[in-house]
A and B are shown apart, each in its own frame.
Chain A
Amino acid sequence: MTGAGGATTDVWEGPPVGSARHAAVVVRAAWKSSLAGSAEYRGDLVVGTLVSIVWLAVSAVPAVVVSLNSAGAGGWTLPRLMCLLGVWYLMDAVMWIVVMPNVGQWGEQVRSGTLDGVLLRPVHSLVLCSFRVVGVQDVPKVLLALALVVTSLVLGGGPPSVLALLAGAVCVACGLVLLWALAVLTSYKVLSHVQWDASFLLHAGLNLGRVPIPLYGDVLRVVLTWVVPVAFLTTVPAQVLFGMVPWWTVGAALGFAAASVVVVVVLWNRELRRYAGAMG
């Protein structure tokens, strides 16, 4: 477009600024930028893929050794444990692809003042602060995790019905939402308390999900299912895929996911009003 003085000006012709589609366009552009940046270290990317395979093998050792030495802990046979491991690995992948490169950097961004620049952009701050950067090195983990889930389902007799498969997929999606919500809840206070760091709770929650939650005993099972819903990250999706739990569990997963989004958005907006910047 040519202005009155003959100068060329850029006009935004994409989705309306502030809309969800606009946010998606901005996030996609940011991801392309991350991909271009990581292309500088292609060797590290290849090594990272190999390391991801080794880590998956490391994570599988306990389940394999348990099944070699016993009939299976608490009815969790090897395919079921492997399915749970696949779901856990998917959560771990998303943790390092999306959560840590974004939420994990809030403290440093607040201290250095770079968060100010992010907050000024015309996209909802929580979206931009949560999904702007992508850790490309860990992307192969997603494929490995999905391959493990599919293999374990085939070996373990598969889901009892197509509906169970769909319900399992819904529960995995709910688990991803809960993971993001847990990450935000453990970190959003850094906006007003510069040295805040409760990320150990997030790591603890995810690590507790490495094994089926019912194995922790009655008290911890209730706590980790209904108080801090760690069970919905890994155990419930695996249980739903194998038809081990009643259908209302899927509704509970959806309810937890929806409630966590509402709580996170409300708390983020409230904390943002207290943000004063802390440029070092």
Chain B
Amino acid sequence: MTPPSPPAPLAPSVPGPPAADETAVRGAVHVVRSGVALLRAEVQARSAYRAQILLGSLGWVVPLAFLALWRDAAADGPVGGITAAGFTTYFAVLLAMSNLWLTGTVVFATAGRVHSGQLSAMLLRPAPPLLVPVAEGLATNVFRLPVVLVGVPVLVLLGGGAVTSDPADWLLAPAVGVVGIVAVTYVASLVACVAFWMTKAQGVMGLVIGLEWVLGGMVAPVALMPGPLPALLVHQPFWYAGGAPAEILAGIGDHGPTVLLEALAWVLVLHLLLRVVWRRGLRRYEAVGS
């Protein structure tokens, strides 16, 4: 019987990680790869509840309630230059956009993880923790998208909505909407960082949803707001994520590619701001635990 050979000494034989491996878990490419992997996992996890997600998106009726209010207000004539048909398209597109917003998921999931201490484990992974709630929200959107793509045209048709006939607008609206959602997701991440300073701050977190409703044009087109508000509100992320694509497709106002450029500039500024706030917040992280 051959005696077992003694184990080789570990320390000298284990090579140090090559420099290439260190850079492999950093940088934009790694973040994108991590994000895609997370998204794939979240989509698979949600596929078991796809019917529930689908039905849940049917339960989101707030834009429909405001549509009824505004259509009736415009029954006797245009309100602020917007006809009943314009309101129908506006709120139908808003119904679609608001179904795809990630704000609630990012704010409440991140703040909850800070409060419960779950963030500790996430910080050990070689990927930004904020990618997780974003992937969760996007995975839900994968199953909501079919409802939106079918439901909104049906709503526009049944409600007698009027849409723009300019092909450039049809390219601009989704582009502004997507960039706007990215910008608002950054805002949501910044708000979630409040949890580092206030252990439990669900109330403050809820405010961002309220901002989204008013500044995003959910309760009324910003063009109908009083005083200087219409001129101011068309230069902030919430409007790009909701009101802008809705107005463009409904033919309300005159919007050009500068809207898209402004939205992109916001994304850049918010990205840099989040880097600073996240690092400062992490220094305050206490991992309370539940």
Q: Do A and B come from one complex?
A: yes
| Chain A contacts to B: CB under 8 angstroms | 41, 43-44, 47-48, 50-51, 54-55, 58, 61-63, 65-66, 68-74, 137, 195, 197-198, 200-201, 203-204, 207-208, 210-211, 215-217
**B51-82 interface mask toward A, CB cutoff 8 Å, 1 = contact, 0 = none?**
01001101111101110111111111001100
Asked if A51 meets B204 with Cβ closer than 8 Å, knowing A65-B220, A215-B68, the reply is: yes
A65 and B224 form a contact (CB under 8 A): yes
0/1 string, B86-107, CB within 8 A of A gives 1: 0000000000000000000000
Interface presence of B214 (CB below 8 A):
yes
B50: chain A residues at CB < 8 Å are: none
| A215–B204 CA distance with the chains assembled, in angstroms | 33
Which residues does B use to contact A, with CB under 8 Å?
49, 52, 55-56, 58-62, 64-66, 68-76, 79-80, 198, 200-204, 206-207, 210, 213-214, 219-220, 224-226
Contact present for A58 and B214 (CB under 8 Å): yes
User: Is B66 a contact partner of A51 (Cβ separation < 8 A)?
Assistant: no
Q: Of B58, B59, B65, B224, which one neighbours A210 at CB under 8 angstroms?
A: B65
Report the bound CA distance from A66 to B79 in whole Å: 9
Looking across the interface, which residue of chain A has its beta carbon closest to that of B72?
A73
Q: How far is the CB of B155 from chain A (nearest CB, A)?
A: 13
Taking CB atoms, residues of chain B closer than 8 Å to A71 are 76
**Complex alpha-carbon distance, A137 and B206, angstroms:** 13
**Residues of chain B lying within 8 A (CB to CB) of residue A43:** 198, 200
Q: How would you classify the secondary structure of chain B's contact residues: helix, strand, loop or mixed?
A: helix
Which of B80, B198, B207 is A69 in contact with, Cβ under 8 Å?
Answer: B80
How far apart are B248's CB and chain A's nearest CB, in angstroms? Answer: 21
Q: With A69-B224, A70-B74, A73-B69 given, is the CB distance from A208 to B206 under 8 Å?
A: no
Inter-subunit contact B226/A62 (CB<8 Å): no
Contacts of B68 in A (CB 8 A): 211, 215-217
| Most interface-central of B75, B220, B225, B226 (chain A CB within 10 A) | B220
**B203 adjacent to A208 (CB under 8 Å):** no
- Tell whether, in the assembled complex, residue A66 and residue B59 are in contact, meaning their CB atoms are under 8 Å apart: no
Task: Determine whether the beta carbon of B59 is less than 8 Å from that of A200.
Answer: yes
B59, B66, B76, B214: the one within 8 Å of A211 (CB): B66
B73 in contact with A200 (CB, 8 Å): no
- Report the nearest A residue to B210, measured CB to CB: A58
Distance between A34 CB and nearest chain B CB, rounded to angstroms: 15
> Is B69 within 8 A of A200, CB to CB?
no
| A200 in complex: contacting residue of B56, B198, B213, B226, CB < 8 Å | B56
User: Contacts A62-B220, A65-B220 known; A48 to B203 CB distance under 8 Å?
Assistant: yes
Which of A44, A54, A73, A195 makes the CB contact (< 8 A) with B210?
A: A54
Provide the bound-state CA to CA distance between A207 and B59, in Å.
9
- A54 and B207 contacting across the interface, CB-CB below 8 Å: yes
Q: CB-CB < 8 A to B56: which residues of A?
A: 200
- Are A204 and B69 closer than 8 Å at their CB atoms? no
